[in-house]
Amino acid sequence: MAVYLVTGGAGFIGSNIVETLLENGANVRVLDNLSTGKAENLREYQDDIEFINGDIRDLERCQKACKGVDYVLHQAALGSVPRSIEAPKTTNDVNISGTLNMLVAARDQDVQRFVYASSSSVYGDDPNLPKKEDRVGRVLSPYALTKKTNEIYARLFFELYGLPTIGLRYFNVFGKRQDPHSAYAAVIPKFVRRLINDQPGVIYGDGQQSRDFTHVSNVIQANLLACSATAPAFGQVFNIACGSSTTVLELYEKISNLLGKSITPEFRPPRKGDVKHSNADVEKAIKFLRYEPKINIDQGLEMTIDWYVNNL
């Protein structure tokens, strides 16, 4: 039976991947230092996984984690554009040096496939819509720079060492277990938490910025498909999204309606490093990975809000 290593497996996306892998009967190992991930995200699975408490900045720990592993699903990272602007060195150390450690360990331990999380932030100031993988602009934050660097390293590890790597550019992922309490929380859990508490959601800028909000189930599907993709996909990156676009104001209205709330949002100045518009072309992922986004934003919001109502 195949062995999967999920780095950052106690985090939002990682724990959802772990859950699905276990449902599919896989052997699962998790590497996480619990700096942003939470042990409670894995509590119900703790008897079914091998958990390594470790930091991807520790190469020896990475080597240990990769030993005997068939597939690495590398989700561990220090997320958030604003956090990267506040702490560029830490973001660099975790996201670039940590990912390089994982690539080295995967190469040394003869891992069959290295699938890693990239980000739509790499498109930077490119104004063209929809976003296509081979057309990127100037990155606007240290976070975006780290993700772009990871893509270059992964391509090199395939070309130089023959390690089959596949990068997934996530677009604004949301779903259950996404932390609404962090200072760097994403917009959907922030809106939900504030509206549940009868507080106005905070919108930075005019709310006309748009995003390709992607339910976590689509991301899980992409990771699993990447594990079985054929050689033409190796060394490449793929947009993982729904191929649709929703403004932040439209998002706020959708969430308000689902929660039965009517609270005017609070507007604040735009944030540095934010991309204005983000909408993915997913044709490349459809062609090479057989990816098919199955949960749209409306379905995803219903599922997610139902989870928050029962867990906040």
* 211 three-class SS: strand
Position 273 pLDDT exceeds 80: no
User: What pLDDT does residue 274 have?
Assistant: 78
b/e for 263-285, b at 16 or more Cβ within 10 A? eebeeeeeeebebebbbbbbebb
Give 282's pLDDT tier (boundaries 50, 70, 90).
very high
pLDDT digits (tens, 9 = 90+) for 54-89: 999 999 999 999 999 999 999 999 988 889 999 999
Position 272 pLDDT exceeds 90: no
According to CATH, the topology of domain 3-171+216-242+280-295 is Rossmann fold (3.40.50)
- Return phi, psi of residue 197, to 5°: -90, 15
Catalytic residues, by residue number, are 143
Q: In whole angstroms, what is the distance from residue 169 CA to residue 115 CA? A: 11
User: What pLDDT does residue 182 have?
Assistant: 78
User: What pLDDT does residue 183 have?
Assistant: 74
Position 265 pLDDT exceeds 90: yes
pLDDT digits (tens, 9 = 90+) for 213-228: 999 999 999 999 999 9
pLDDT digits (tens, 9 = 90+) for 23-62: 999 999 999 999 999 999 999 999 999 999 999 999 999 9
Which of these, 71, 58, 64, lies nearest to 26 by C-alpha position?
Answer: 71
Over the chain, what is the mean pLDDT? Answer: 95
Mean of pLDDT values over 273-292: 93
The proportion of the chain whose per-residue pLDDT surpasses 90, expressed as a percent, equals 92
- Return phi, psi of residue 49, to 5°: -125, 165
Query: 210-211 and 246-247: which strand pairing?
Result: antiparallel
Mean of pLDDT values over 105-133: 96
Report yes or no on whether pTM surpasses 0.85. Answer: yes
Q: In whole angstroms, what is the distance from residue 164 CA to residue 155 CA? A: 9
User: What pLDDT does residue 276 have?
Assistant: 84
Strand partners, 270: none
